[in-house]
């Protein structure tokens, strides 16, 4: 036996609304954005491997970047 059937019914109805995206359909968004306001396309761009490599390069210090830039080239690089 359930001690409070009315509370149980309210919780069930609430779960049904969540499951059926009731509030998403009732209050549609003007644009599909995330919590931070970034669109899905922007997220995909940010997560691309090329962008990640560029961000890693930017994190390096100035001296480390200069050292890598002016260091001797490897023979493997000339083949490419």
Domain boundaries, the chain: 5-72
Q: Give the per-residue pLDDT at 77.
A: 56
Token couple for 52? 């990640």
**pLDDT tens digits, one per residue of 25-71:** 998 877 777 777 777 787 777 777 777 777 777 777 777 777 777 88
Tens of pLDDT, residue by residue over 7-29, are 999 999 999 999 999 988 998 87
Query: DSSP of the chain, one letter per residue?
Result: --S-HHHHHHHHHHHHHHHTTHHHHHS--SS-B-TTS-BHHHHHHHHSHHHHHHHHHHHS-HHHHHHHHHSPPPHHHHH-
């Amino acid at each position: 036996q359930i001690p409070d059937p009315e509370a149980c019914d309210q919780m069930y109805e609430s779960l049904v609304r969540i499951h059926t995206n009731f509030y998403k359909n009732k209050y549609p968004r003007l644009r599909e954005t995330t919590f931070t306001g970034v669109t899905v396309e922007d997220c995909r761009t940010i997560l691309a491997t090329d962008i990640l490599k560029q961000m890693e390069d930017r994190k390096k210090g100035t001296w480390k970047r200069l050292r890598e830039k002016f260091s001797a080239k490897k023979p493997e690089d000339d083949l490419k």
